[in-house]
Amino acid sequence: MLLALLQANSAVLDPEANCAVIDAAAREAAAAGARVLLTPELFPVGYAPRKLRSGLDPEVLPTLRATLAATARRHGIGLVYSLPRVMAEGDWQISATLLDANGEVLLEYGKVHLFGPDERAAFSPAAERPAVVDFQGIPTSMVICYDVEFPEAVRAAAAGGAELLLVPTALAHGFDDVPQVLLRARALESQLTVAYANHSGVEDGCRFLGGSVIAGPDGKLLAAAGEGPQLLFADVDGEAAKRERAAVPYLDERRPDVYRAWED
């Protein structure tokens, strides 16, 4: 399966411009034969947690979701996007959604680990376990940005059967080891493909690293971006995770009862 990953600069509180960028990337990705396009964390509205909380009217969110679903349908490609979501009790969370090529929701996820004072001031953490769905014959799950830096989050997805992990992110400049070292370790230790889509450029005073990567279940990079805007592609082998797990059965040989005793 050909996977496409958008690395780009978004405009804070300009959903129309950002959705146009996603639409153009979806058109190009679909023309290249990609089955899914992964976009960065909060890309449709820009990454600026405090400004989003004070300046984004939540009434626009259903329209944004409909616009993104229309993009998936128009170009016949799966799409991962990240937006704020407002819970029944009024809390705001950071979410990610996986759509199929008909614009139908396959999977939703709420960010569990919030990074830094801005995110914690604007959003509340979710608590849901990463769910797994079949996407193009590959068991697929999602986490968001800082979540992937916790081995427990990725291992929960893998233990649930995931062989592909899609990760919208917003990683600042200066954290190069996250995509180059940590992401590859996560892919290797849980033996699944990890696709990690970051912003580029500057948004609300934050300079982003770029450096998006796609790492295979053997820990090797399938594709890596530089610092600037880029549409990244990689072929995801639907059998690769199974081969790695058969060779070294990390998941089968875990001892969670022992680990729980250690924590106690």
Using the structure block, give the residue that is written with the tokens 């060779």: 247
Chain-centroid distance of CA 70 in Å reads 20
* CB 65, CB 83: distance < 8 Å: yes
Q: Which residue in 19, 41, 149, 163 is the catalytic one?
A: 41
* CB 210, CB 226: distance < 8 Å: yes
Q: Is 242 a catalytic residue?
A: no
Partners of 211 in the β-ladder: none
In one letter, which amino acid is 118? D
Q: Which residue in 19, 111, 119, 244 is the catalytic one?
A: 111
SS3 24: helix
Closest C-alpha among 262, 210, 254, 218 to residue 236: 218
Structure token digits, residue 188: 């290797």
Q: Is 41 a catalytic residue?
A: yes
Q: Is 145 a catalytic residue?
A: yes
Q: Which residue in 19, 119, 145, 203 is the catalytic one?
A: 145
**CA 25, CA 102: separation in Å to the nearest integer?**
17
Q: DSSP letter at 59?
A: G
Active site residue ranges = 41, 111, 145
